[in-house]
Amino acid sequence: MKHQLLTKIHDHSATVAVIGLGYVGLPLAVAFAEKGFPVVGIEVDGRKVAAVQRGESYVQDIPSERLATLTNDERRTMEGHQPSTIGPRLGRAASAKVEGSAGGVAGAERRGGRP
């Protein structure tokens, strides 16, 4: 399992799930997406999810143009979802989950592992 994850990280095929798309989570999700990782952003605020899906930023450090290049390309490098729309698929889809919080990265969990 560890070797598989490291291989996916190395070749950028690991799907990263960022939980919380606020002023910490959105820049984190954008950073992973800009490095070529597929990113799924999970956010309870439907307005933020809709904004991400439209490529419109609500975070000062992330210009909308920068976000739009990630959400509107044909590969859809980055997607936003509410927890109710992703549900149990998240555990199967994501290779790594990262939680963004005001205190920095609050937790990370390897797929199948414990936080």
Is 70 exceeded by the pLDDT of residue 48? yes
Q: What are phi and psi of 52, to 5 degrees?
A: -60, -45
Is the confidence at residue 74, as pLDDT, over 50?
Answer: yes
The whole-angstrom separation of Cα 75 and Cα 32 is: 15
pLDDT at 56: 92
Reported pTM:
0.72
Task: Label residue 75 by pLDDT band (50, 70, 90).
Answer: low
Mean pLDDT of the chain: 75
**Strand (E) positions, 26-88?**
39-42, 78-81
Confidence class for position 105, pLDDT limits 50, 70, 90: very low
**Residue 103: predicted pLDDT:** 44
**Taking each helix axis from N to C terminus, what angle separates 25-34 and 64-71, rounded to the nearest 10 degrees?**
60
Paired tokens of 18: 């960022």
Mean of the pLDDT values across residues 74-78?
62
pLDDT at 46: 87
Strand-pair partners of 100:
105
Q: Is the pLDDT score of 93 beyond 80?
A: no
Q: Hey, where are the domains in the chain?
A: 2-110
- Give the class (CATH, top level) of 2-110: alpha beta
Per-residue pLDDT at 39: 87
